[in-house]
Amino acid sequence: MIKMLGRYLSVISLLLMCTHSDAQTVLLNPDKQEHLVRLVKNQMAAQNVPGLSLALIESGQVVYQNAFGQASSSAPGDAVAMLVETPTALGSLSKSFTAVAVMQLVEEGAVNLGDFISQHLHELGTPADQRILKISVRQLLNHTSGYSTYVGNFGQASYAAQGDALDVAAKRLAQVSLERDPGTGYEYSNANYQLLGLLLERLDQKPFEHSVQSRILDPLNLHNSYVRTPRRPDQIGAVGHRYWLHRPIAFTKPLPRTAVAQGGVYASASDVATYLLDLMSDQPLLLSSNARDQLFNLDEEGATKGYGLGWFIEPHASGQLIFHGGTNPGYEVEAGFLPGLGSGYVVLINANSGFAGGNVGAVILSIKQLLLEDTVIDRSSPWINRLLLAVFVLLAFSLFGCCIRWLKRLTLGSSDKAYRQFGAQRLGVGIILPGLLLLILAVTILWYIPKLSSIPLVGLQAFAPDIGLALLAAGMLSVLLAVMRTVALVRYGIQYKDEQRH
């Protein structure tokens, strides 16, 4: 009873430290504050960032929080200012919330970290790859299950609105092959947290959104936070933006429900700061100190490359840095803390990095390094990406021009005897081989290039619409040209042979 009272007094003190008006909260050294504000404004201008909110924690209290730019800029003259209270999509930072909820289940005795996930999810009972039966809950949490990054990013939007989206995802994940044996290596995959989200739903017997609300958001009084959809009319989240070249364009498509456990939490900078303070507290409210510490333990079975249970962990001059970033279409964020110093940071932006412009990640990195008193790295513009985009755009236009020419030849026929003779005499080298090469080009553009980036083409279109559209156009036009060219030349060949008979 005394322990629980201590926990509640702890969270009350956290809330008092985070209480503020819409204006900025300042306890920060004036010189550092001036440097930070100048850096933020310069970086936002350089990368054309629509809106940003941040919070800085030092010695176990919020010493600075502020917001810049716009939360919504959909109509001229109707822009809404970004506030520290504005909910913003947290992307994969949501995984830490899922991990906390799972650890609460562990403390309640509902599940063990060593349990095979197939013991709790019947969808995995008869998998295509028998190794799936041996994936543990811990291996899902630290991304050592064997599921690939590509598998985790594939096929989410097709059942976006279904209430049973996580059930459907589990059935799909039962039919794929693992990249490696469970527990033998690290590979970040959203598939792991899709299964953990379903585990939470099954054991709590309610939707994931309600579980996280009752387990984390309500106990910490995170009033400006919700999971996937707002709970109240006054919870107006920041509008996301995606870059077309260097221009941010508003993006309002709802998050697929399959992604709810991997990236479905929306929260304000002030609320995320409260969440970090609880995780750093000597008497955390959400978990016991022992369970909390397990989240940040890299010594567990199979944990590699600095990933604990829902958090990245890396060495820092001031001790262990615990952090997680997140990117949803239209949003990019990062939050982290140094528990040894009681210091932390939160940076939320309502735009995600573009392919050929709008390097939001560089903005976050610069702010993070300033707050952690590291050397700020100057990131140059992504000229290589811009060159690649130009190449695919030019390729698409060239293929389109070729398609127009062959369409005319196909619909009007050819008066050129040489074409008709070519179609009749060069069936292999002249017709089939070029057609096959064009189809190989299409497969390379539509499948192999996205595969190399570990994200399907539909995902590239969601995060980087400029390069996504260029790839889609070039790939589909390659297929169309292969078909039109082959059909036209075969038709010419038939005409030529008929002429020779007569």
Across residues 117-137, what is the average pLDDT?
A: 95
- Sign of the Cα pseudo-torsion (94, 95, 97, 101, in order): positive
Contact predicate 281/288, CB 8 Å: no
Query: Which of 83, 69, 73 lies closest to 24 in space, CA to CA?
Result: 83
Residue 21 confidence (pLDDT) above 50: no
Kindly report the average pLDDT of the chain as a whole number: 85
Distance CA(189)–CA(325), nearest Å, equals 14
Contact predicate 222/23, CB 8 Å: no
Across residues 394-403, what is the average pLDDT?
A: 92
Confidence (pLDDT) at 371: 82
Contact predicate 331/349, CB 8 Å: yes
Distance CA(33)–CA(307), nearest Å, equals 32
DSSP-based three-state secondary structure for 39? helix
Residue 448 confidence (pLDDT) above 80: yes
Distance CA(437)–CA(478), nearest Å, equals 9
Contact predicate 191/117, CB 8 Å: no
Residue 189 confidence (pLDDT) above 90: yes
Q: Which residue has the higher pLDDT, 117 or 459?
A: 117
DSSP-based three-state secondary structure for 136? strand
Q: Please give the C-alpha separations between residue 267 and each of 333, 358, 428, 437, in angstroms, as whole numbers.
A: 11, 23, 61, 49
Across residues 411-420, what is the average pLDDT?
A: 55
Q: Which residues pair with 52 in a beta bridge?
A: 68, 349
Local confidence band at 7 (pLDDT 50, 70, 90 cut-offs):
very low
For residue 177 the two structure tokens come to 């092959």
Question: What does the DSSP 8-state code read for residue 454?
Answer: T
Residue 183 confidence (pLDDT) above 70: yes
Local confidence band at 301 (pLDDT 50, 70, 90 cut-offs):
low
Contact predicate 295/308, CB 8 Å: yes
Confidence (pLDDT) at 235: 85
Neighbours of 406 (CB within 10 A): 19
Share of the chain above pLDDT 90, in %: 56
Share of the chain above pLDDT 70, in %: 82
Q: What is the pLDDT of residues 219-247, one digit of tens each?
A: 999 999 999 999 888 888 999 999 988 88
Separation of CA 50 from chain center? 19
Contact predicate 261/196, CB 8 Å: yes
Question: What does the DSSP 8-state code read for residue 347?
Answer: E
Query: Which of 283, 267, 119, 92 lies closest to 191 in space, CA to CA?
Result: 92
Confidence (pLDDT) at 10: 43
Residue 370 confidence (pLDDT) above 90: no
Highest mean pLDDT among 301-305, 313-317, 429-433: 313-317
Q: What is the pLDDT of residues 481-498, one digit of tens each?
A: 988 887 776 666 555 555
Burial of residue 374 (number of CB atoms within 10 Å: 0-12, 13-18, 19+): middle
Question: What does the DSSP 8-state code read for residue 298?
Answer: S
Distance CA(26)–CA(176), nearest Å, equals 51
Q: Please give the C-alpha separations between residue 486 and each of 39, 113, 403, 409, 482, in angstroms, as whole numbers.
A: 57, 58, 12, 12, 6
Half-sphere exposure in the Cβ direction for 491 (13 Å, CA): 15
Local confidence band at 428 (pLDDT 50, 70, 90 cut-offs):
low
Residue 299 confidence (pLDDT) above 80: no
Contact predicate 294/300, CB 8 Å: yes
Q: Which residue has the higher pLDDT, 422 or 462?
A: 462
Alpha-carbon dihedral angle through residues 221, 225, 230, 234, given to the nearest 10 degrees: 70
Question: What does the DSSP 8-state code read for residue 178?
Answer: P
Question: What does the DSSP 8-state code read for residue 253?
Answer: P
Q: Which residues pair with 72 in a beta bridge?
A: 80
Burial of residue 56 (number of CB atoms within 10 Å: 0-12, 13-18, 19+): buried
- Sign of the Cα pseudo-torsion (87, 93, 96, 101, in order): positive
Residue 208 confidence (pLDDT) above 90: yes
311: amino acid identity, one letter: W
DSSP-based three-state secondary structure for 111? coil
For residue 8 the two structure tokens come to 């509640």
